[in-house]
């Protein structure tokens, strides 16, 4: 009952906003401030300007950003297709098989990403499955790491679907493929868009597995950021991180727009 008083609600809201500010807002604000700083030797940045951001737009960094975008889009698309297919297949499977499928898909999330990278590097370092030294091992590593989120999102959405729509379509003579294409997938459009956005965002920032497997010709932006930080160039790393954040937000915005358009096109008129 105490939480229903005005004073207690205000206090709870204040604590919540303080925690959010400290945990989420402050680190991002510090990164942006560092990106604009010429130096940071005191409590606040000094000599503010855009020199670091201009350096972040160099050809090498833009190439790394392009690699990150290509990897994220490909890994997100593959994870979405495979995760959706697995969720649909597991939906009508026995309970024990559903549990086993879920455990297999979530296993990469339960272990360190470095272990995933090392495992892939060892497993795909010999013919006929020689992927080491190519971009495909990076894309595969990202796909494995984000696959669980696509599978979980689609599985949860399928559990919430009203079976009456499918039953009505089947009673009118629609086959399984038609039901899937005309009923199930359109109703899953918001979930598919959210799953794709989450997979892309996670892939854009992935470092642990990437640093184990990436070739010199396929270096993502997080790897470049790690290299700058390791050499003590923190302000330049902050500028690259700001570039990565901006690109990720723009991609998520584009995915959201496409999802809303697809949902509108699939809605009955």
> pLDDT digit string (tens) for 66-121?
999 999 999 999 999 999 999 998 888 888 888 888 889 999 988 999 999 999 99
Query: How many Cα atoms sit within 13 Å of 235 on the Cβ side?
Result: 19
CB atoms within 10 A of CB 90: 21
Question: Is it true that the peptide bond before 128 is cis, omega within 30 degrees of 0?
Answer: yes
Query: What global pTM score does this model have?
Result: 0.85
* Phi, psi values for residue 186, rounded to 5°: -60, -35
pLDDT of residue 45: 80
The answer to whether 214 and 132 are in contact (CB under 8 A) is no
Look at residues 209, 230, 213, 246 and name the one whose alpha carbon lies nearest to residue 69.
246
User: Which region among 42-56, 209-223, 251-265 has the lowest average model confidence (pLDDT)?
Assistant: 251-265
Residues 7-55: tens digit of each pLDDT:
777 888 888 888 888 888 888 888 999 998 888 887 778 788 888 889 8
Residue spans of the domains in the chain: they are 1-49, 58-266
The count of residues in the chain is: 269
Measured CA to CA, the distance from residue 129 to residue 141 in angstroms comes to 14
**Residue ranges of the alpha helices (H) in 161-233?**
163-171, 176-179, 185-187, 189-204, 210-213, 221-230
Look at residues 9, 184, 166 and name the one whose alpha carbon lies nearest to residue 84.
184
pLDDT at residue 204 greater than cutoff 90: yes
Residues 147-195: tens digit of each pLDDT:
999 999 999 998 888 777 777 877 777 777 888 878 888 888 889 998 9
Cα distances from 232 to residues 37, 204, 269, in angstroms, run 15, 23, 58
| CATH superfamily of this structure's domain 58-266 | MetI-like (1.10.3720.10)
Higher pLDDT, 105 or 6: 105
Measured CA to CA, the distance from residue 134 to residue 51 in angstroms comes to 34
């Amino acid at each position: 009952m105490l939480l229903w008083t005005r004073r207690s609600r205000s206090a709870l809201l204040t604590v919540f906003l303080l925690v959010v500010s400290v945990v989420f807002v402050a680190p991002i604000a510090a990164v942006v401030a560092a990106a604009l700083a010429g130096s940071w030797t005191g409590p606040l940045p000094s000599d503010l300007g855009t020199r670091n951001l201009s350096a972040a737009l160099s050809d090498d960094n833009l190439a790394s950003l392009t690699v990150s975008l290509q990897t994220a889009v490909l890994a997100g698309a593959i994870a979405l297709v495979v995760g959706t297919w697995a969720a649909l297949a597991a939906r009508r499977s026995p309970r024990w098989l559903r549990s086993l499928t879920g455990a297999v898909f979530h296993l990469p999330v339960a272990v360190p990403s470095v272990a995933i990278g090392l495992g892939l590097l060892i497993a795909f370092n010999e013919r006929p499955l020689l992927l080491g030294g190519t971009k495909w091992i990076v894309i595969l590593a990202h796909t494995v790491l984000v696959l669980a989120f696509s599978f979980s999102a689609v599985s949860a959405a399928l559990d919430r679907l009203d079976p009456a729509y499918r039953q009505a379509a089947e009673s009118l003579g629609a086959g399984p493929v038609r039901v899937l294409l005309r009923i199930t997938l359109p109703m899953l459009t918001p979930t598919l868009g959210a799953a794709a956005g989450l997979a892309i965002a996670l892939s854009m920032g992935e470092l642990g597995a990437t640093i184990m497997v990436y070739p010199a010709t396929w270096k993502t932006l997080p790897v470049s950021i790690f290299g700058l930080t390791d050499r003590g160039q923190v302000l330049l790393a902050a500028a690259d991180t700001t570039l990565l954040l901006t690109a990720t937000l723009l991609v998520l915005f584009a995915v959201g727009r496409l999802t809303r358009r697809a949902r509108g096109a699939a809605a009955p008129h």
